Amino acid sequence: SQELEQSPQSLIVQEGKNLTINCTSSKTLYGLYWYKQKYGEGLIFLMMLQKGGEEKSHEKITAKLDEKKQQSSLHITASQPSHAGIYLCGAEGNAGGISYGKLTFGQGTILTVHP
Amino acid sequence: NAGVTQTPKFQVLKTGQSMTLQCAQDMNHNSMYWYRQDPGMGLRLIYYSASEGTTDKGEVPNGYNVSRLNKREFSLRLESAAPSQTSVYFCASSRGARAVQETQYFGPGTRLLVL
């Protein structure tokens, strides 16, 4: 089965600093999702990557999928307190066949941003 | 347009009691999912429903049952709650049913404590 490892497990930064969260897979990634979760709330979809080398940005958050499609990174530029929360990566279980969107998730990265 | 809604938000049960978690979506999605989230373990899929009338086991189905009542609603039942089922439960939906790499949209979660 697909396993996803996120690093770091937690991160504390000062407002304005840049940061990167990584998501590494034991198998080739065919659909990699990034979600953000605030404490006590549901998951908010950020971005989805499919192609090797793909990069997407939304406001100050950029996500990349490496060429070999086994690692993704999420980069936040000039972090703000509003970026604080838990970031989770999720991936499709398999490429061939029909997976019905079943996702495997990493354990999450807890981000704290100090003003 | 409420997206994915879940009830209740919080619940405390005694060991052996039963309860049903309700989930509804108003996005006309075909696929629906139940996950549990535990500290340090990310989200794990309990059951999913690729389309109305079908349900399948996910990664951790033991101790749970589900019902896809109609296209909108997908309920999760704990017949005899155990302390190991203390968790935060999330319902999600996606357009589905035969497409891969589709975004899942999550509800706000139900926090369950089993004493």
> Is pLDDT at A92 greater than 80 in this prediction?
no
Chain A: closest CA distance from residue B4 (Å): 10
pLDDT for res A98: 47
Contact B61, B81 (CB under 8 A): no
Mean pLDDT calculated for residue range A81-95: 85
CA distance A100 to chain B (A): 6
Residue A100 has pLDDT above 60, yes or no: no
* Residues on B contacting A at a C-beta cutoff of 8 Å: 4, 31, 33, 35, 40-45, 48, 50, 56, 58-59, 90, 92, 94, 96-109, 111
How far CA A19 is from CA of B20, B26, B71, in Å, comes to 41, 36, 41
Asked whether the beta carbons of B1 and B24 are under 8 A apart, the reply is no
pLDDT score recorded for residue A46: 94
Distance CA A55, CA A78 (A): 18
Asked if A87 is an interface residue toward chain B (Cβ–Cβ < 8 A), one would say no
Whose CA is closest to B104, among B87, B92, B112, B90?
A: B92
**Using CA atoms, how far apart are residues A89 and A54, in angstroms rounded to an integer?**
16
Give me the percent of chain A exceeding a pLDDT of 90. Answer: 61
Nearest to A100 among B44, B90, B97 (CB): B97
**How does pLDDT run along chain B (115 residues), one tens digit per residue?**
679 999 999 999 999 999 999 999 999 999 999 999 998 778 899 999 988 889 999 889 999 999 998 999 999 999 999 999 999 999 999 887 555 557 889 999 999 999 9
Task: Give the A:B interface size as CB pairs under 8 Å.
Answer: 76
Given a cut of 60, whether residue A95 has pLDDT beyond it is no
Distance from CA of B20 to the nearest CA of A (A): 19
Q: What is the mean pLDDT of residues A24-44?
A: 87
Rg, chain A, Cα only: 14
Is pLDDT at A104 greater than 70 in this prediction? yes
Contact B108 A102 (CB under 8 A): no
In whole angstroms, give the CA distance from residue B7 to residue B2: 13
The pLDDT, as a whole number, for residue A97 is 46
**What secondary structure letter does DSSP report for B55?**
-
Give me the pLDDT at residue A96, please: 47
A102 touches chain B (CB under 8 A): yes
Gap from A66 CA to chain B (nearest CA, Å): 17
Cα separation, B6 vs B29, whole angstroms: 16
User: Which residue among A35, A90, A99 sits closest to B100, beta carbon to beta carbon?
Assistant: A99
The residue assigned the tokens 């790499």 is B101
CB contact under 8 A, B45 and A41: no
Judged by CB atoms closer than 8 Å, whether chains meet at A101 and B4 is answered as: no
